[in-house]
């Protein structure tokens, strides 16, 4: 089968959508012998990596037309409407995976934006097969959408430290931005100190919000309790996760899913998440939840995980069976099956 995968950004750009596009493309080739072309806006070539598929970067109209005309299935890994126009002139089986919100729940829009996004919703809902990476994301479009949950890199994120971990060790993994709730986590850690506990927080990631993070750390006198590791990749992340007992995903806005929860859980952390968006789905009953945007609720849950061993272990024992459902091969095979079904729907 010849499959064209559309994605806004691709390697060497890095992010959840970029990673899933590469994972799916590689998996289609290696597991299903598909012929794959990735079409992307990212101009930069990958000088440090080769792919078993073609990557078409910033294609000309003719290149885009030829790629789509030769495809058995066109797959948008998140809607890429700038690449859609040739599909107006040729009927190709079309699969769309929603990786993030088209519009955020409750988002205020101008009149022009309402028209723009209404059109985008209508176009996406025309897909032959629509997929969301969580139930909450699939439910925000007015069309039938099935759910295929994201996977995690099970070759990288796994338990390598079998020794007992410090129960007061906490880790955050993610971009440093104001919407990720790192300020809430720092406030909660400060509250734990006030309650007589001795938490230690590791922060993995970088971003424009880092100067503010450093300011808050100083303001709360947490310099001796917080380590800023900066951006890390692959096994370096997994090694740090393996040194911590608890991880926190404190996002202020609803996340569409939360693959980071799977990476952290697979590395042996009990994962505490904000109870909104797709995060509760991502961790299921293998992790506790706190009230979103509430530092007191976050601190209360952290204190209970630290002080109550039975409570901590009630989640820890559920992790192995939970993450088993999100391994790479399961994810790839479910998406390839979606391509086959879309092809059969259009071609009979």
- The answer to the question of residue 34 being in a domain is yes
The model's confidence at residue 242, banded by pLDDT at 50, 70 and 90, is very high
What pLDDT, on the 0 to 100 scale, is given for residue 120? 85
Question: Residue ranges of the alpha helices (H) in the chain?
Answer: 16-32, 61-69, 111-124, 135-138, 182-194, 210-219, 234-241, 259-266, 279-283, 295-307, 309-316, 319-324, 328-347
The side-by-side arrangement of strands in the sheet containing 246-249 is 226-230, 200-204, 169-173, 246-249, 270-274, 289-290
Kindly state the percentage of the chain with pLDDT values over 70.
Answer: 100
How big is the chain, counted in residues?
A: 348
CATH number of the domain within which 281 lies: 3.40.50.2000
- The answer to the question of residue 159 being in a domain is no
Of 275, 276, 288, 181, nearest to 245 by C-alpha is 288
- The answer to the question of residue 157 being in a domain is no
What pLDDT, on the 0 to 100 scale, is given for residue 96? 97
Cα 259 to Cα 256: distance, rounded to the nearest angstrom: 10
Could you tell me if 228 and 264 lie in one domain? yes
SS3 57: strand
Could you tell me if 105 and 120 lie in one domain? yes
Could you tell me if 147 and 55 lie in one domain? yes
Of 227, 150, 140, 241, nearest to 186 by C-alpha is 227
Could you tell me if 29 and 135 lie in one domain? yes
Could you tell me if 267 and 313 lie in one domain? yes
Residue 70 has pLDDT above 90, yes or no: yes
Could you tell me if 227 and 337 lie in one domain? no
Could you tell me if 203 and 254 lie in one domain? yes
Across the strands, what pairs with 73? 3
Range of the structural domain that residue 224 is part of: 169-324
Q: Which tens digits make up the pLDDT trace of 10-42?
A: 998 877 788 899 999 999 999 999 999 999 999
Could you tell me if 175 and 319 lie in one domain? yes
Handedness of CA 127, 132, 135, 140 (dihedral sign): negative
Phi, psi of 74 (to 5 degrees): -110, 125
Residue 158 has pLDDT above 90, yes or no: yes
The model's confidence at residue 167, banded by pLDDT at 50, 70 and 90, is very high
Contact 286, 293 (CB under 8 A): no
Could you tell me if 293 and 333 lie in one domain? no
- Per the structure, the count of domains in the chain is 2
- The answer to the question of residue 164 being in a domain is no
Could you tell me if 137 and 178 lie in one domain? no
- The answer to the question of residue 95 being in a domain is yes
Q: Which tens digits make up the pLDDT trace of 91-130?
A: 999 999 999 888 877 788 888 888 888 888 888 899 999 9
In this prediction, residues 201-207 reach a mean pLDDT of: 95
Could you tell me if 206 and 306 lie in one domain? yes
Could you tell me if 84 and 225 lie in one domain? no
- The answer to the question of residue 273 being in a domain is yes
What pLDDT, on the 0 to 100 scale, is given for residue 14? 74
DSSP state of 82: G
Q: What is the pTM (predicted TM-score) of this model? A: 0.86
- The answer to the question of residue 161 being in a domain is no
- The answer to the question of residue 163 being in a domain is no
């Amino acid at each position: 089968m010849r499959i064209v995968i559309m994605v806004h950004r691709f390697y060497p750009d890095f992010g959840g959508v970029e990673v899933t596009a590469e994972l799916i493309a590689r998996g289609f080739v290696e597991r299903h012998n598909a012929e794959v072309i990735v079409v992307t806006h990212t101009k930069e070539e990958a000088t440090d990596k080769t792919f078993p598929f073609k990557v078409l970067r910033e294609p000309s109209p003719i290149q885009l037309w030829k790629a789509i005309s030769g495809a058995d299935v066109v797959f948008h890994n998140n809607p890429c409407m700038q690449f859609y126009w040739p599909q107006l002139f040729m009927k190709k089986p079309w699969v769309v995976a929603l990786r993030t919100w088209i519009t955020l729940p409750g988002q205020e829009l101008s009149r022009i934006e309402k028209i723009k996004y209404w059109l985008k919703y209508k176009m996406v809902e025309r897909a032959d097969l629509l997929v969301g990476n969580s139930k909450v994301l699939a439910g925000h479009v007015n069309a039938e959408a099935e759910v295929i949950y994201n996977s995690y890199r099970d070759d990288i994120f796994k338990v390598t430290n079998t020794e007992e971990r410090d129960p007061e060790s906490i880790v955050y993994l993610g971009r440093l931005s104001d919407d990720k709730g790192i300020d809430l986590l720092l406030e909660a850690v400060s509250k734990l100190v006030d309650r007589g506990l001795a938490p230690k927080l590791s922060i993995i990631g970088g971003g424009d919000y880092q100067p503010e993070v450093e300011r808050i750390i100083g303001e709360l006198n947490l310099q001796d309790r917080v380590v800023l590791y900066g951006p890390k990749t692959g096994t370096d992340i997994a090694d740090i996760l393996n040194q911590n007992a608890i991880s926190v995903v404190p996002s202020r806005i609803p996340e569409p899913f939360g693959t980071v929860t799977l990476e952290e859980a697979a590395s042996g952390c009990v994962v505490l998440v904000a109870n909104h968006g797709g995060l509760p789905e991502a961790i299921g009953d293998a992790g506790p939840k706190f009230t979103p945007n509430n530092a007191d609720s976050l601190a209360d849950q952290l204190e209970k995980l630290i002080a109550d061993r039975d409570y901590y272990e009630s989640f820890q024992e559920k992790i192995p069976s939970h993450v088993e459902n999100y391994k790479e091969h399961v994810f790839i095979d479910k998406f390839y099956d979606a391509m086959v079904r879309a092809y059969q729907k259009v071609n009979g």
